[in-house]
Amino acid sequence: MASNRSVVPADELHEELVIAFARIRPAECRTCSIPKPHFMPRTDDRVPNWELPFDAGKCKHGCEDLVLWLKRQYGALYDLEEPG
């Protein structure tokens, strides 16, 4: 089964994720930010070919769940260009 995801550069996806996170980030959190997505070879067509290396240990405001939610939402829409 072929993927219907748009293929974008990592910088473009990162910018989209940063904007989306800014809209849903808890006002109390002053430390979390969205990391740049990293290409990861696909093992299954149901998952995107990228990962977000988010350090969940620092936040007490639920940002880890928000980042995972964003990854699911944007992972259904976008794949990263393979590094050249």
Lookup result for tokens 């976008």: 78
pLDDT of residue 30: 86
The parent domain of residue 38 ranges over 6-80
pLDDT > 90? residue 42: no
In this structure, the number of other CB atoms found within 10 A of the CB of residue 68 comes to: 13
pLDDT > 90? residue 51: yes
Total domains, the chain: 1
pLDDT of residue 2: 54
Q: Is residue 15 part of a domain?
A: yes
Q: Is residue 25 part of a domain?
A: yes
Burial tier of 22 (Cβ tally within 10 Å: 0-12, 13-18, 19+): exposed
Q: Is residue 1 part of a domain?
A: no
Q: What is the mean pLDDT of residues 63-80?
A: 94
pLDDT > 70? residue 1: no
* Confidence band of 61 (pLDDT split at 50, 70, 90): very high
